[in-house]
Amino acid sequence: PDVSNPLFVRTGNPALKQEFNHNVNLNFNNFNILTFKFFAANLNFSTTQNKIVNSIDTLARGIQLTKPENQNGAYSASAFVTIGMPFKSVKLKGSSLNFTSLIYFNRDVSLLYKQENIGKTLTLTQRAGANFNLKEKWDLSANASLSYYNVKYSVNKSLNEDYFAQTYSADVARTFTKPGIILSTDIDYYVNSGRAEGFNQSIPLWNASIAKQLFKKKNAEL
């Protein structure tokens, strides 16, 4: 036992079994070079056999014991579909509208005071965006996404959550061919709603960069 902190004792477990991860993934992609239409789909499932988790218990009043244990029943599954549709205008060649639908489910296990604590997380996300390539000089994009999160625990139910998260972003890049300079900037705006007091924050993030292409073939960048 590690008793360097007498109120939070940690100990090992020589009876632990080896942990194994198993994963199955299925992808499908289709791109039409004539129409620039794009379609992608993905299914993924993963599980952990003999997952090593922390068992939290009490030795005596006010003293917590943490010990690693093997648990089964932890897995995650996800699926998404992405569709890209180009604009018909010749002037907007290389530009497109994109839509992505995603679903994710995770089941985790832990031990809390000799009880199996099962955590379930469900995430649903819908994204939509547009990309524009204008005269090989301007690259513009705008995206928006809405996500729904549902988090539930079988033992410590006080941590259950049910909330929405929104993300809005825009990117602009300008290429100056002769001097080989690229100016770019992007802004992201995150909005959380439905969470506990103090966590419903709106957060803007802004980035900007300047790049210089090097050599005759412009195959390096600073």
Report strand pairing: 63-71 vs 51-60. Answer: antiparallel
DSSP 93-134: TT-EEEEEEEEEEEEEEEEETTEEEEEEEEEEEEEEEEEEEE
- Count the neighbouring beta carbons within 10 Å of the beta carbon of residue 168: 15
CA dist 93 and 38 (Å) reads 14
DSSP secondary structure code for residue 201 in this structure: -
Name the phi and psi angles at 160, rounded to 5: -60, 140
Q: What is the pLDDT of residues 9-38, one digit of tens each?
A: 999 999 999 999 999 999 999 998 887 899
For the chain, give the longest Cα–Cα distance.
75
Rounded mean pLDDT, 175-204: 87
CA dist 161 and 70 (Å) reads 27
pLDDT, greater one: 194 or 31 = 31
Q: What is the pLDDT of residues 114-132, one digit of tens each?
A: 889 999 999 999 999 999 8
Report strand pairing: 96-112 vs 51-60. Answer: parallel
Specify the pTM: 0.77
